[in-house]
Amino acid sequence: MNQAQIYDVSHLLAGMMLVASFALLYQDRIFAVLNIFAAQAILLAMAVGWDAWTQQRPHLFITAGLALGLKGIIIPVALHKMIVRLGVHRDVEQVVGVGRTLILGLALTSLSLLLVLKITAAAESYTREGLALALAIILLGMLMMITRRNAVTQIVGFMSLENGLILAATGARGMPLVVEVSVAFSVLIALFVFAVFVFRIRERFDSVDIEALQNVRGDTK
């Protein structure tokens, strides 16, 4: 297999992750959001696994396995159960409209591509590509956290941001395995904390719409 084909496959997987990020921004049904998130995590696992295989870096297989197991299966299933228990099967409410969100997303993506490709001109092509797309995915995850009002989809935004971080870490050489494993498990812990928090919010305000928290602020009176 030659260099161009190896590049094409990793480009395909990273590109599809970016498309999944846009699908997350666009989608306003909560179960579909979860399915897209799971698909993005599986794509991430495939991208990391492809890197591990083609560049003989076997420790990356562990990262890929963690991505697949934790974020492709466990977290989506847990969030699914959480949504059923919270009873929020209805549409996701957004602060900004879909059109404006997507335009903002395109602007952020263009920005990160132009920025990373410019400042990493000396690095090798895998790193540049991975970093450029990873920064776009991270920014899109942040955008999703801003535009959503539902606490559960905000969690999905955070997790998708973390997918971007792992993609970036794969591109960069020399990330110790210990760090990766601990990051993966801290994400799992974060999920528990979020879950407890969301249930507390619901208990207190009868809603997971974080607009309800506005009333607690001291300055709104």
Partner 1 sequence: MGETLTLLFGQTVQMFLVLLVAPAITGITRRTKACFMRRQGAPVIQPYRDLIKLVRKEAIVAESASWLFRVAPYLIFALAWVAAALVPTFATGLLFSWTGDVIVIIALLGSARFMLALAGMDIGTSFGGIGSSREMMIATLAEPAMLLVVLTMALAAGTTQLPGVADFLIAAPFTVHVSLALALVALVMVALAENARIPIDNPATHLELTMVHEAMVLEYSGRHLAMIEAASQLKLVLYVSLIASLFLPFGIVRVEAGPVAWLGGGAIYLGKIAGAAILLGIWEVSIAKMRVFRVSEFLGGAFVFAFLAILLTFVTREVLK
Cβ proximity of 157 and 24 under 8 Å: yes
Q: Is 128 in the site for partner 1 (CB under 8 A)?
A: yes
Q: Is 119 in the site for partner 1 (CB under 8 A)?
A: no
Q: Is 12 in the site for partner 1 (CB under 8 A)?
A: yes
Segment interacting with partner 1, rule: CB under 8 A, options 129-137, 148-156, 179-187, 204-212: 129-137
Segment interacting with partner 1, rule: CB under 8 A, options 34-42, 56-64, 121-129, 166-174: 121-129
Torsion angle, CA of 147/152/157/160, rounded to 10 degrees?
-160
Please pick, from the candidates 62, 74, 78, 102, the single residue that binds partner 1 as defined by CB under 8 A.
102
Helices (H), 120-176: 125-147, 151-171
| Count of residues near partner 1 by CB under 8 A | 27
Segment interacting with partner 1, rule: CB under 8 A, options 83-91, 128-136, 146-154, 163-171: 128-136
Please tell me the distance from the alpha carbon of residue 47 to that of residue 31, in angstroms, as a whole number.
Answer: 24
3-state secondary structure of 92: coil
Q: Is 5 in the site for partner 1 (CB under 8 A)?
A: yes
Tally Cβ neighbours within 10 Å of residue 139: 20
User: Least distance in Å: CB of 45 to partner 1?
Assistant: 17
Assign residue 138 a region: left if phi > 0, alpha if psi is -120 to 50, beta otherwise? alpha
Segment interacting with partner 1, rule: CB under 8 A, options 40-48, 124-132, 157-165, 211-219: 124-132
Please pick, from the candidates 106, 146, 177, 179, the single residue that binds partner 1 as defined by CB under 8 A.
106
Closer residue to partner 1 in complex, CB, 112/153: 112
Q: Is 145 in the site for partner 1 (CB under 8 A)?
A: no
Cβ proximity of 189 and 159 under 8 Å: no
Residues 15-34 that bind partner 1 (CB under 8 A): 15-16, 18-19, 22, 26
List the structure tokens of 57.
């870096």
Q: Is 95 in the site for partner 1 (CB under 8 A)?
A: no
What are the beta bridge partners of residue 58? none
- The 3 state secondary structure assigned to 67-79 is HHHHHHHHHHHHH
Closer residue to partner 1 in complex, CB, 86/136: 136
Please tell me the distance from the alpha carbon of residue 180 to that of residue 207, in angstroms, as a whole number.
Answer: 35
Cβ proximity of 208 and 152 under 8 Å: yes
Footprint of partner 1 (CB under 8 A): 4-5, 7-9, 11-12, 15-16, 18-19, 22, 26, 98-99, 102, 105-106, 109-110, 113, 117, 125, 128-129, 132-133
